[in-house]
Chain A
Amino acid sequence: MNKINLLTPDKSNLYNFLYIGILLFFFSVLDVTLNSFFNINLTSFLPDALSFFLPLILGFIGLHFIRIEYSGIKYLDLINKNINTNNFNALLSLLIIFIFIKLLPPALSWFIIDANISGDSRDSCTGTGACWTYIKVWFNRFMYGMYPNAEQWRINLSFISLAFLGSVGFFATEKYKKYLTLYYVVIYPIIAFLFIFFFISGGPIFFDFSYGIIAAVISIIIGFFIPSKFKMYYFIIVPLTVYILLKYVLFYEELIELGKLEALEWVETGAWGGLSLTFIVSFFCLIFCFPVGLFLSLGRRSDFPIIKYISIGFIEFWRGVPLITVLFMSSVMFPMFLPEDMFIDKLVRVIIAISLFEAAYVAEVIRGGLQALPRGQYDAAKSLGMGYWKMYIFVILPQALKLVIPGIANTFLALVKDTPLIFVVGLMELAGMLGLAKTNPKWLGYAMEGYVFASVVFFIICYAMSKYSYNLEQKYKTER
């Protein structure tokens, strides 16, 4: 038998080292596991400090023994390559494994084993773990804020229809693909606005919404019989005419009558809240900040000095101040700038403020894309005789926007993460509702559950968004 040198394991004694090493490593993991799950200390006969560090030492020696290069055993080589390249890495790997094992039981017991979810009052929370009953009871409030329970189907319906209308792009056939941009940039935002303003807000105004729908349906039906030459003008003029006809000529009396009935109860924006408000605010800001940012970025690269410096000043101003001061401005300073009798709803003010704020960031991102395009693209477009707008719309922007998809997605992600800030003006979205719920005298002391819940919700939303943007980036990556 060969002489075994314990300090330098080698291939000639592969199995000896392997058995000892695996045994030691296994024992160290077993010790920690028993210790953390069943509170049994195998090495209690040793001094405290030694007993505490023993698994680390044993595991370290074990990993040292199995660190044999090119052993020919597939899994051993895999382990050595990935977690056991040298002493330092082995130590770090062990630490991570042990910390994970140590953290697992308390986490499990808090989240699942000792947690309560049954019942609907505080008394049913008897375990030492989390009280998910609290989340269950407050779930409606966390989702819809103070929106009346009986009316919540309106929010659901709006979101479902908007999600459906938003997914049109996936089903569109080749023939309609070229209209998708127009649809998403112009038509879809308008529909969304109508939905949220008339349907979620409700009140007598609701009838405007229904007339709008009727007008749209009628004009689409008639639209089939119009020669395609005039379709462009037709779709601009007719829906508006039909709408005005419906509202002011045909149904004017009925409107007044029905307005008194209030088919849909009016819900003021102060009552909106919870996660749905987060969606509403981020959705609108997303829609508005993009075009504003686009124009700002064009303005910043303009040849006209006045436009250029106004854009620069605007962008740098918004980028230099924190969002919270912008919101303060919109809530306490902005009303001073308006005529006495003019009142703008708080939610609208907030949406405008956040949109302008994010537009500055979007502008900088787009500028990056514009700058990254080689000069030749501009020159080529100009040499074809294109004017400024033609050049940008048909040559520059399609390429530049493709380049900055990840940047824009990041900005949108930041926007979604910024929405909880609207609590400073008194709007209660998810984080705000949590604050309200945890100070409720019946439910004191469950702040942790609330924040964990909200964190999970936001994490899912933001993580999905970031993954989606990554996919988008991969999809639009063009070889240059």
Chain B
Amino acid sequence: MNLNFKKIFPQLLTLLFVVLVFGFFSYNAQVNMDNRGITFGYGFLSQESSFDVQFSLIEYDGSHSYFRAYLVGLLNTILVSVIGIILATIIGVVVGIARLSKNYLIVKTAAVYVEFFRNIPLLLQIFFWYFAALRALPLPEKAEPMLGVFFLTIKGFFVPALIWNNLHIFVYSVIAAIISIIFVRIYARRKQETEGKQTPVLMISIGLLLILPLLSFLIGGASFVVEVPVIKQMSQSSFTYDGGIGLPPELIALVLALSLYTATFIAECVRAGVQGVGKGQKEAAASIGLTPNQVLKLVIMPQALRIIIPPTTNQYLNLTKNSSLAAAIAYPDLVLVFAGTALMQTGRAIEIVSITMLTYLSLSISISILMNWYNKKIAIKEK
């Protein structure tokens, strides 16, 4: 009886405390909303939003609903996160490997990069790229084309667009190539395990990736036209580009800052991972006659990845969350569009902030579930 009481009492006390705090808050919220004549509810999502967003992946203007605005913001956030994650991974892996190089100059350069970008607040870096570095770019009418078709101007980065005919056939062919590569890999591994013979998987993969899409052009009827951006005069002194795809400077600044910042952390993860594999492993692998490439591929990487993946996942999550700093430079991401403009217009603080937080929460939880699954798959299977 005494023991039970000792167990239950602190829990009840905590529960009571939490319930009281929540009760206090929700009671006040109720009173405050009554005073302002607002009723709690998510009905406003279907109302006409009547504000415009300057950059959106889906069709959107003021006549669409608030929910549509939410989608626009969400897609923009996902766009920045995905580009950022890809770039950060590439830079991070390269720098991480560079820090393990035997070359003194490379090691020092990589170390300076990591220490420098890691120790400056991300917000300052975003501001730096957006307000200082990108503002030094030329005006559209004065921009020199890079390689003839890319225009890097103060109004953004303009790249040629591909206008597709029968895009779906091309996409199918790529999917088919990827699926057949997976089959080839499984086959090669099985052959390696049963007969000990090796198959040139890389060559076959590259061949498949080239041939199948090529076939889709030759036989399937897929084709594309390159649409180069052309300069267009808007008014006396205002120019812009017509055609092609225009990436706004906000997006570029954000992606640059996010990927350069996160890459430093990923580089450290990679370095720690590769260093974490014992030296004996490399020597043992070399002593049974594996080539340096095989040592890396079959012995080092599988073990290093186990160390690298969990912290890197965390960095991906951080990047996704940090992409919300977009609001500082007016890139229309979820926070700016929804928690900023929409909140100002409707005044529904509780609903909007809760939706925004829940969105980020589910984004990060889904990434972490995905990565946990992968992590479990590659983890050492102990008996």
Contacts and interface: CB of A to CB of B under 8 A. Distances in A.
A83 B105 contact: yes
A339 B32 CA distance: 8
Contacts of B373: none
Contacts of A438: 131
A434 B127 contact: yes
A83 B103 contact: yes
A217 to B, nearest CB: 38
Contact of B105 (A96, A423, A463, A466): A96
B327 A310 contact: no
B115 interface: yes
Contacts of B109: 96
A85 B12 CA distance: 68
A416 B121 CA distance: 8
Interface string B285-328: 00000000000000000000000000000000000011111011
B7 A89 contact: no
Contacts of A448: 128, 132-133, 136
A451 B124 contact: yes
A455 B103 contact: no
Contacts of B171: none
B162 interface: no
A456 B123 CA distance: 14
B236 interface: no
Contact of A82 (B26, B103, B116, B123): B103
Interface string B94-127: 0000000111111001000001101111111101
Given A321-B357, A325-B335, A424-B327, A431 B121 contact: yes
B349 interface: yes
B330 interface: no
B231 interface: no
A451 B356 contact: no
A97 to B, nearest CB: 7
A82 B354 CA distance: 55
A293 interface: no
B235 interface: no
A458 to B, nearest CB: 5
Contacts of A431: 121, 123-124, 127
B85 to A, nearest CB: 15
A454 B11 CA distance: 48
Contacts of B327: 324, 424
Most buried by B among A96, A306, A332, A333: A333
Contacts, number: 159
Contact of B353 (A85, A329, A417, A421): A329
Interface in B1-45: 7, 10-12, 14-15, 18, 24-26, 28-29, 31-33, 35
Interface in B330-383: 335, 339, 343, 349-350, 353-354, 356-357, 360-361, 364-365
Contacts of B356: 325, 328
The secondary-structure label for the interface of chain A is helix
Interface string A321-355: 11111001100110111111000000000000000
Most buried by B among A97, A319, A336, A339: A336
B168 interface: no
A84 to B, nearest CB: 8
B28 A459 contact: no
Contact of A338 (B28, B128, B354, B361): B28
Most buried by A among B24, B115, B119: B119
Contacts of A332: 343, 349, 353
B328 A82 contact: no
Given A304-B10, A421-B123, A455-B128, A317 B349 contact: no
A96 B106 contact: yes
Contact of B103 (A89, A416, A421, A459): A89
A283 B109 CA distance: 33
Contacts of A320: 360-361, 364-365
B14 A307 contact: yes
Instruction: Sort chain A's interface into a size bin.
Output: 35 or more
A455 B353 contact: no
Nearest to B18: A310
Contacts of B191: none
A463 B119 contact: yes
B357 A325 contact: yes
Given A93-B106, A418-B121, A438-B131, A322 B33 contact: no
A106 interface: no
Contacts of B10: 304, 307
Interface in A293-328: 304-307, 310, 316-317, 319-325, 328
Contacts of A339: 28, 31
B114 to A, nearest CB: 11
B132 A455 contact: no
B33 A325 contact: no
B25 A322 contact: no
Nearest to A435: B127
A204 interface: no
A451 B105 contact: no
A260 B356 CA distance: 47
B325 A306 contact: no
A240 interface: no
B328 A424 contact: yes
Given A96-B109, A324-B327, A447 B350 contact: no
B135 interface: yes
B293 to A, nearest CB: 15
B332 to A, nearest CB: 15
Contacts of B103: 82-83, 85, 89, 92-93
A336 B102 contact: no
Given A85-B103, A89-B101, 6 more contacts: A89-B102, A96-B106, A319-B364, A337-B29, A447-B135, A451-B127
15 contacts: A83-B105, A92-B103, A320-B360, A322-B325, A324-B324, A325-B324, A325-B356, A328-B353, A335-B32, A337-B28, A421-B325, A423-B328, A452-B128, A455-B120, A458-B124
The 4 tightest CB contacts between A and B, nearest first, are: A462-B119, A322-B321, A82-B104, A320-B361
